[in-house]
């Protein structure tokens, strides 16, 4: 059973609460943003602890009952000497859905979280209602490299490990608000460097396209129109592999879509349904 604790920092009209579950053999932490609609499990990207998605989850909670996962090795979930592979993270998703009592949730994943959602669905589609894939890296074996360089991640994490301010983080996230940079400065140190390295390397070694070809559940692909992570040819390939995929593009937004255009992001995802 989940163990509750107040999440802090981001609050809404209905108090968000953090809780832990033991799933897939480790402690998993989530933040629950209560809503009246279908359940949603939100899986953040490579260096985004759950709490940094609070300003998005608060708005999503107008249409969904939102649970945001701290991916292993990040935030308040278990870290240390663990398996940080895509398969392990995907197995976490399925185990969390079961242990947390989620019923056919919409699984929304951003970037690495979208790749994790794809692999989880390939493992077992049954407990998932729908996938919302937000700008998943389409790199992989024999494909073009992921456009962000490794040193961007390593340098920012090492800075955070030393203790830093939001203003110091701004050199890595120059378009973010003061509040967003301050929150990143507070929480980035919880991103275990070897976990991030494993995920980053997995962008180039894990084949999510083979997974997509096996999926039959509803999929919505949300593309950052101002980024180079997903291009027109990539969209066409994804729809060829999974013809049930519908596409929404947030024009002008960078890879961190809600940080650039929250309203555009919400318009792209708010009306998804479940089977």
CB 191 within 8 A of CB 225: no
Bridge partner residues of 108 (DSSP) = 42, 132
Q: What is the C-alpha to C-alpha distance for residues 16 and 49, in angstroms, rounded to an integer?
A: 15
Which of 48, 63, 77, 111 is the catalytic position?
Answer: 111
Strands (E), the chain: 3-6, 17-23, 26-33, 39-43, 65-70, 106-110, 130-134, 219-224, 245-250
Which of 231, 246, 251, 263 is the catalytic position?
Answer: 231
Q: Shortest CA distance to 224 belongs to which of 123, 60, 110, 131?
A: 110
231 part of the active site: yes
Q: What is the C-alpha to C-alpha distance for residues 169 and 273, in angstroms, rounded to an integer?
A: 37
Pairing of strands 106-110, 130-134: parallel
Which of 32, 67, 110, 255 is the catalytic position?
Answer: 255
Residues belonging to the active site: 111, 231, 255
């Amino acid at each position: 059973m989940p163990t509750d604790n107040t999440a802090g920092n981001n609050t809404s009209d209905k108090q968000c609460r953090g809780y832990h579950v033991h799933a897939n053999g480790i402690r998993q932490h989530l933040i629950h943003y209560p809503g009246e609609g279908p359940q949603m499990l939100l899986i953040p990207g490579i260096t985004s602890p759950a709490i940094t998605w609070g300003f998005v989850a608060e708005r999503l909670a107008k249409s969904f009952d939102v649970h945001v996962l701290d991916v292993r090795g990040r935030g308040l979930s278990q870290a240390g000497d663990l398996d940080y592979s895509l398969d392990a993270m995907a197995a976490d998703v399925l185990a969390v859905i079961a242990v947390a009592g989620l019923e056919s949730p919409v699984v929304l994943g951003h970037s690495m979280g979208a790749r994790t959602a794809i692999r989880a669905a390939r493992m077992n589609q049954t407990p998932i209602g729908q996938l919302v894939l937000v700008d998943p890296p389409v790199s992989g074996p024999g494909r073009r490299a992921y456009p962000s360089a490794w040193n961007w991640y390593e340098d920012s994490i090492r800075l955070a490990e030393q203790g830093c301010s939001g203003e110091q983080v701004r050199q890595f996230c120059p378009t973010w608000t003061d509040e967003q940079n301050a929150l990143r400065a507070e929480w980035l140190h919880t991103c275990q460097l070897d976990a991030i390295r494993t995920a980053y390397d997995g962008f180039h070694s894990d084949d999510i396209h083979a997974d997509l070809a096996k999926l039959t559940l509803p999929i919505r692909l949300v593309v950052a129109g101002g980024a180079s992570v997903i291009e027109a040819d990539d969209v066409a390939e994804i729809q060829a592999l999974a013809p049930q995929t519908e596409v929404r593009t947030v024009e002008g937004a960078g890879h961190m879509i809600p940080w650039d255009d929250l309203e555009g992001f919400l318009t792209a995802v708010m009306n998804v349904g479940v089977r």
